A and B are shown apart, each in its own frame.
Chain A
Amino acid sequence: MSIPTDLKYTKSHEWVKTEADGTVTVGITDHAQELLGDMVFVELPQVGDTFTQKQECAVAESVKAAADVYCPISGEVVEVNTPLVDSPENINQDAFNSWLFKLKPSNSDELGGLLDAEGYQTLLDSEEH
């Protein structure tokens, strides 16, 4: 699957989309779901939770393993994708449209430190070797 160029990425395989209103939407990448296999459970944060960058903020569990999701940038959770809890397999089908939560960034500078699509592709290529 190609890596969307309108998103930013972390080394821990989260994707980040900057919305028009300044919030950011967060999910896990297609590569992450492929590594995990069939998803069976997601544990989402609660609206109002605040996280610092790289803090554990959600859990994605497949039949195989539980994986922590790390907050890509610092901020406050303003919305969570509750329907995903009942259909975690959506992540397998369309990881880049199966968002987990939205954040109001507390330090937008952190966005600049994330990988772009090309940088993320380079990371994936290096992980294969």
Chain B
Amino acid sequence: MLKKTPLNQTHREMNAKMVDFGGWDMPLHYGSQLEEHHKVRQDAGMFDVSHMLPVDIKGEGTRDFLRRLVANNVDKLTVSGKALYTCMLTPQGGVIDDLIVYFLTDSWFRIVVNAGTADKDVEWICKQRDTFAPDLEITPRRDLAMVAVQGPSARAKVWQVIPNSQAATETLKLFQSTSLNQYFIARTGYTGEDGFEIILPADEASAFWKALHAAGVAPAGLGARDTLRLEAGMNLYGQDMDESISPLESGLSWTVDLKSERDFIGKQALLDSKSTQQLIGLILLDRGVLRSHQKVIADYNGQEIEGEITSGGFSPTLNQSIALARMNAGISPDTEVHVLVRDKKLRAKVVKYPFVRNGKALV
């Protein structure tokens, strides 16, 4: 039996093509994935991301607990509502999940974790809590729904739909959030566009979704979500990193704080790591489509080395295929490499990613 979000029936009414996504019955698209992608880059689209899980962590010492639990440093969060992207690591430095931490009050932080890892995450967090901070209260919030509204007009559309929300959210900077009545509104996203991620009571999700639709926001499925995040150069858990890979090998060094004296789970393993692997961006020069697990072959100091595509696909904005691939970090931008696609060697160029941000091609 597939799990359903509070918007399941609404998706079906809007003729969504539904798919099994890690045990959740989710919309892949509502007709055309490409059109949904362009709509987000050019105007506004909305995604049901209620399969992801908000988890509230409450009590004295929550900040200290998070300082140990996650790889980025929650001490960066000084203003209420501020958000931080981070990985949560195993003691061996592998990525249990990537997540966003919101600082609400000194005794209340909220994290939002991936759907496929939610059970494992909560179990891990509770286990750490039992050891290090037994008084903290950990509450998974399946009573909430989450809608991401993304695109250059996304904020304006939300302001039309939620009364008084413009005044409350207009001054929010990127990675800031605020609460307004029953809405938790964060200026975050997974598309490389401006917009909000909005958490609200599950029983209000359908009316909210329909109001956004009436305001001209296009429903967009997981298909467009994937091509948008790949263009934006954002990692997908389970594809670009997992427990066997460290954030340092996943283009996520910027999210790991190794400088402060703070100890966190996985820190020593990262300090001891000698890996030279890294994620690189690829643009396909020949015709075709790059896909995950395809082999990349490059010349490195006169030697043939191999890597593997972790996420690949067609970029609707660039009208060309792009990919993230893991290989030796020494491969520099503009190097031409080969990708083994079926029985053919196709030419691709190494590029710095993101590929697209705020509607504009960067490569």
Contact = CB atoms under 8 A, between A and B. Distances in A.
Interface of A: 37-38, 40-41, 43, 59, 61, 63-64, 66, 85, 92
Nearest to A43: B288
A16 B28 CA distance: 30
Given A59-B342, A63-B316, A64-B223, A85 B287 contact: yes
B287 A64 contact: no
B29 A41 contact: no
Given A37-B29, A37-B33, A38-B32, A63 B313 contact: yes
A41 B316 contact: no
B289 A41 contact: yes
A38 B34 contact: yes
A63 B287 contact: no
B47 interface: no
A82 to B, nearest CB: 12
- What are the 9 tightest A-B residue pairs by CB atom distance, in nearest-first order? A40-B314, A38-B34, A61-B289, A63-B33, A41-B289, A63-B314, A38-B33, A37-B33, A38-B32
Given A38-B33, A40-B314, A41-B314, A66 B223 contact: no
B311 to A, nearest CB: 13
A18 to B, nearest CB: 30
Given A59-B342, A61-B288, A92-B32, 18 more contacts: A37-B28, A37-B29, A37-B32, A37-B33, A37-B223, A38-B32, A38-B33, A40-B289, A40-B314, A41-B287, A63-B33, A63-B34, A63-B313, A64-B28, A64-B33, A64-B223, A66-B289, A85-B287
A61 B28 CA distance: 17
Contact of B288 (A41, A63, A64, A92): A41
Contact of A66 (B227, B291, B316): B291
Contacts of A43: 287-288
Which of B291, B314, B342 gathers the greatest number of chain A CB atoms within 10 Å?
B314
Nearest to B314: A40
Nearest to A38: B34
B241 to A, nearest CB: 22
Which of A38, A41, A61, A64 gathers the greatest number of chain B CB atoms within 10 Å?
A38
A111 to B, nearest CB: 28
B342 A63 contact: no
Interface in B324-363: 342
B185 to A, nearest CB: 30
Nearest to A92: B32
Contacts of A59: 342
A11 B291 CA distance: 26
Interface in B9-57: 17, 28-29, 32-34
B313 to A, nearest CB: 7
A36 to B, nearest CB: 11
A91 B177 CA distance: 44
B22 to A, nearest CB: 16
